[in-house]
Amino acid sequence: MASIKMLEPADAARLKEVEKDVDNKFSWAWMERPVTVYLAGDKVTTKLRDYMKKVDIPGKALCTWCNELIKYGKKGSISLVKHAETGKHKAKQSIRRTNYSLGSMATSSSVHPFFSRFSNTSSRVQQSEPVCEPVVPICDRVSNQQVTTYIILIATLL
């Protein structure tokens, strides 16, 4: 079985060759199309580029969240948007939304209460705005928790 290769905008010649017999030929502009769905009552807007990749199969794109090939050959980008509105895709999106984002605890001046006694608070600049909203996979959170636990254990033994 041949492997599936993902195409990039730089692969214009390969894309033209792959799409020669397709009614609605793939367009990279489709990837910028916003898709709005409702998850648990919240309105969530993403772009197709967040999860759709063009593959070297005529008339098909890969949803990387669902690991599913989507046929767009007859209806074009509408097929890709319709996939984003399916229950299976929304379930994957909901999982990613809840498991891959942490709260805004990460500020440049935030220090865990345990470690506040070791820090020099007079030299820190107080800032209440979050520096960034980290996107952290669950496996990294587990590793981070294990390291934090070891540090606390070592600090209490000192």
Position 88 scores a pLDDT of 93
The CA–CA distances, whole Å, from 143 to 81, 117, 130, 138, 150 equal: 36, 24, 23, 9, 11
Q: Please indicate, yes or no, if residue 45 is contained in any of the structural domains.
A: yes
Flag whether pLDDT at 122 surpasses 50. no
Same domain, 90 and 120: no
- Using an 8 Å Cβ cutoff, are 52 and 3 in contact? no
- Using an 8 Å Cβ cutoff, are 63 and 83 in contact? yes
Q: Please indicate, yes or no, if residue 6 is contained in any of the structural domains.
A: no
pLDDT in tens, 17-68: 999 989 889 999 999 999 999 988 889 999 999 999 999 999 999 999 999 9
- Which among 45, 36, 96, 46 is positioned nearest to 66, based on CA atoms? 96
Q: What percent of the chain has pLDDT over 70?
A: 75
Q: Structure pTM?
A: 0.61
The CA–CA distances, whole Å, from 146 to 5, 35, 71, 96, 110 equal: 37, 38, 44, 22, 20
What span, in angstroms and rounded, lies between the C-alpha atoms of 27 and 54? Answer: 9
What is the count of structural domains for the chain? 2
Question: pLDDT-based confidence at 108, cuts 50/70/90?
Answer: very low
Q: Where are the alpha helices (DSSP H) in 24-86?
A: 77-84
Flag whether pLDDT at 123 surpasses 50. no
Position 4 scores a pLDDT of 84
What secondary structure letter does DSSP report for 111?
-
What span, in angstroms and rounded, lies between the C-alpha atoms of 121 and 50? Answer: 40
Same domain, 94 and 120: no
Flag whether pLDDT at 129 surpasses 50. no
Count Cβ atoms below 10 Å from residue 103 Cβ, excluding itself: 8
Position 86 scores a pLDDT of 94
**Whole domain around residue 17: which residue ranges?**
12-99
Same domain, 138 and 83: no
Flag whether pLDDT at 112 surpasses 90. no
Same domain, 85 and 153: no
Same domain, 22 and 93: yes
